[in-house]
C-alpha cells in the first residue's frame, strides 16, 4: 500500500473512531517483539515477512491471520501495551473518542485468564483518558463462528466488568453465521447487562444480514453494512431511522468487498442520506489508521471537505457517550466546519 497524503484539514479534524478491533492494531514489529518476549514461534522470520503475508482475497483469509496474530498476546502487560499503543496513535490522529472492539472468546479459548484481559485493556483506556484527554468505550465482540452458548459463556465471563463495557458487537466469518443465530445473547446483552448493541453485517453477507441485525437483534448501529445497497427499502429505513453505518473503506478494499477504492459505495450511501462514519477496522492489517481512511475516500471518490466533515460529525452523533460529552465534541467539530 503506498503512503497516502493526509491533508491538514483531515489531520486537524476532531474524530470519533467507532469500529476498530484492538487485536487488529498489532503492528508486525509488535507481533515479532511479543512473540519473542513470550517465547512463541511464529511462521515469520521478521516484521517484513509478516507484512508480506498481508495479502487477502476474502474475509476468511484475513481472519486466519488475525487469529494467528493475536496468539502473541499472553500476559496482562501485552493487552495493556496493545491498547495503549493504539490509543497513542489515535490521539496523534486527533481521535477524541474511541470505541474499541475486543474479542474475549479468542483469548479465553487459549487459556488466558479473563481478568488479565479485561483489567489491562480497561486500565489502558483509563490511562489514555488522563494522558490524552480522550474518551473511550469498550465493546465486547461475539465470534460468530462459535455457537450461541459460547457467546453466552463469554457474556457471563465479562459480567463482573459489565458497568465498564459500553456495548456488545459481533465479528468473525459472516457468511453462514447470520445475526439471528445470536438472538438470545443480544437479549442478555441489552436487557441484563444494559449494553448498546451493534453487529458486523453486510460486509460479506447480503442485505438480509443487515435486516436481521436491525430487526432480530435490534442493533443500534451496523458495522460495515455496505451491502445494504441492493435493498432500496432497507436503505430507506436506515436513512429514516438514522441508523449509523460504521464503514471501513480500506478494509473493504483489502478484503475484496470492493475491487478498489474508486468502486466503493461510501459516497453513494452518504448521498442517499445515510449516517456514515469512517473507521479503520484492523489498521495494522489494512494499511492505514483513521486519517488514511478519510484521505483514501477523498482521493478516490472526490469527496469535498464538507462531506468528510459531515462523516466525522456523524461519529460523534453516533457515539455511545453522555449528552453532555456529545455537546462538547459537537462544539469542537463545529469550529472545523468548512466555509464552503
Ligand atoms: N473486518 C472484520 N469482519 C469481521 N470480523 C472481524 N474481526 C476483525 N476484523 C473483522
Ligand atoms: Zn470490524
Model confidence pLDDT, tens digit, residues 143-192: 999 999 999 999 999 999 999 999 999 999 999 999 999 999 999 999 99
According to the model, what pLDDT value does residue 143 have? Answer: 98
Please state, in angstroms and rounded to a whole number, the distance separating the CA atoms of residues 224 and 210.
9
Per-residue DSSP letter, 281: B
Q: Is this complex scored with an ipTM above 0.95?
A: yes
Grid cell locating 200:
458486523
Please state, in angstroms and rounded to a whole number, the distance separating the CA atoms of residues 251 and 258.
10
pLDDT digits (tens, 9 = 90+) for 287-337: 999 999 999 999 999 999 999 999 999 999 999 999 999 999 999 999 999
Cell 456523524 appears where?
Answer: 314
Give the confidence band of 120 by pLDDT, cuts at 50, 70, 90. very high
Please state, in angstroms and rounded to a whole number, the distance separating the CA atoms of residues 81 and 239.
39
Grid cell locating 201:
453485517
Please state, in angstroms and rounded to a whole number, the distance separating the CA atoms of residues 209 and 86.
30
Instruction: From 63, 70, 205, give the residue whose CB has the most ligand 1 atoms within 8 Å, as the site to mutate.
Output: 63
Please state, in angstroms and rounded to a whole number, the distance separating the CA atoms of residues 142 and 66.
15
In this structure, the strands spanning 221-224 and 244-247 are parallel
Q: In sequence order, what E strands does the chain have?
A: 15-21, 95-102, 135-143, 167-171, 196-201, 221-224, 244-247, 275-278
CA of 335 to the centre of ligand 1 (A): 34
Instruction: From 146, 282, 286, give the residue whose CB has the most ligand 1 atoms within 8 Å, as the site to mutate.
Output: 282
Instruction: From 18, 21, 170, give the residue whose CB has the most ligand 1 atoms within 8 Å, as the site to mutate.
Output: 21
CATH fold of 13-334 reads TIM Barrel (3.20.20)
Does the annotation mark 203 as catalytic? Answer: yes
> What residues flank ligand 1, with Cβ below 6 Å?
21, 24, 59, 66, 171-172, 200, 203, 251, 281-282
φ, ψ of residue 18 in degrees (nearest 5): -115, -5
Please state, in angstroms and rounded to a whole number, the distance separating the CA atoms of residues 245 and 224.
6
Contacts of 233 (CB under 8 A, 6+ apart): none
Give the ligand 1 atom nearest the CA of 21: 8
Dihedral (CA of 2, 91, 160, 77) sign: positive
Residue 29 CB coordination number (10 Å): 14
CA of 299 to the centre of ligand 1 (A): 25
Which residues line ion ligand 2, judged by CB < 5 Å?
281
- Percentage, residues of the chain above pLDDT 70: 99
According to the model, what pLDDT value does residue 1 have? Answer: 52
Please state, in angstroms and rounded to a whole number, the distance separating the CA atoms of residues 285 and 280.
10
Please state, in angstroms and rounded to a whole number, the distance separating the CA atoms of residues 42 and 117.
22
Annotated domain spans of the chain: 13-334
According to the model, what pLDDT value does residue 204 have? Answer: 98
Nearest-ligand number for the alpha carbon of 286: 1
CA of 228 to the centre of ligand 2 (A): 16
* Residue 2 pLDDT exceeds 60: no
Give the ligand 1 atom nearest the CA of 23: 8
Q: What is the mean pLDDT of the chain?
A: 98
Give the ligand 1 atom nearest the CA of 174: 4
Give the ligand 1 atom nearest the CA of 141: 7
Nearest-ligand number for the alpha carbon of 171: 1
Nearest-ligand number for the alpha carbon of 198: 2
- Asked if residues 165 and 153 have their Cβ atoms less than 8 Å apart, the reply is no
Of residues 238, 247, 234, 184, the one with CA closest to residue 208: 234
Grid cell locating 110:
487459549
CA 275, chain centre distance (Å): 16
Residue 122 CB coordination number (10 Å): 19
- Asked if residues 75 and 113 have their Cβ atoms less than 8 Å apart, the reply is no
Catalytic residue among 203, 229, 271, 324: 203
CA of 324 to the centre of ligand 1 (A): 31
Give the confidence band of 4 by pLDDT, cuts at 50, 70, 90. confident
Nearest-ligand number for the alpha carbon of 24: 1
Amino acid at each position: 500500500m503506498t503512503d497516502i497524503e493526509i491533508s491538514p484539514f483531515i489531520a486537524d479534524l476532531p474524530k470519533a473512531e467507532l469500529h476498530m478491533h484492538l487485536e487488529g492494531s498489532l503492528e508486525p514489529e509488535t507481533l515479532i517483539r511479543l512473540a519473542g518476549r513470550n517465547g512463541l514461534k511464529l511462521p515469520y522470520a521478521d516484521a517484513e515477512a509478516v507484512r508480506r503475508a498481508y495479502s487477502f482475497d476474502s474475509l476468511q483469509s484475513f481472519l486466519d491471520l488475525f487469529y494467528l496474530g493475536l496468539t502473541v498476546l499472553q500476559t496482562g502487560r501485552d493487552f495493556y501495551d496493545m491498547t495503549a499503543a493504539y490509543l497513542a496513535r489515535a490521539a496523534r490522529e486527533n481521535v477524541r473518542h474511541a470505541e474499541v472492539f475486543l474479542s474475549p472468546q479468542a483469548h479465553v479459548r487459549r487459556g488466558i485468564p479473563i481478568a488479565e484481559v479485561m483489567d489491562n485493556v480497561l486500565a489502558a483506556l483509563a490511562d489514555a483518558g488522563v494522558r490524552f484527554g480522550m474518551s473511550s468505550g469498550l465493546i465486547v465482540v461475539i465470534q460468530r463462528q462459535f455457537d450461541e452458548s459460547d457467546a453466552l459463556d463469554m457474556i457471563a465471563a465479562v459480567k463482573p466488568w459489565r458497568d465498564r463495557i459500553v456495548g456488545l458487537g459481533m465479528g468473525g466469518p459472516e457468511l453462514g453465521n447470520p445475526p439471528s443465530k445470536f438472538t438470545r445473547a443480544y437479549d442478555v446483552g441489552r436487557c441484563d447487562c444494559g449494553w448498546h448493541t451493534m453487529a458486523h453485517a453486510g460486509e460479506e453477507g447480503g442485505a438480509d444480514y443487515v435486516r436481521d441485525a436491525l430487526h432480530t437483534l435490534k442493533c443500534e448501529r451496523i458495522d460495515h453494512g455496505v451491502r445494504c445497497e441492493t435493498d432500496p427499502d432497507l436503505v430507506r429505513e436506515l436513512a429514516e431511522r438514522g441508523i449509523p453505518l460504521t464503514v471501513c473503506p480500506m478494509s473493504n478494499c483489502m478484503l475484496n468487498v470492493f475491487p478498489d477504492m474508486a468502486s466503493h459505495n461510501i459516497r453513494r450511501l452518504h448521498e442517499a442520506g445515510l449516517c456514515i462514519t469512517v473507521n479503520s477496522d484492523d489498521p495494522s492489517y489494512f494499511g492505514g489508521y483513521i486519517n488514511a481512511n478519510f484521505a483514501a475516500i477523498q482521493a478516490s471518490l472526490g469527496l469535498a471537505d464538507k462531506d468528510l466533515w459531515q462523516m466525522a460529525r456523524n461519529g460523534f452523533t453516533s457515539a455511545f457517550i453522555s449528552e453532555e460529552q456529545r455537546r462538547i465534541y459537537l462544539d469542537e467539530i463545529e469550529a472545523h466546519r468548512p466555509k464552503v
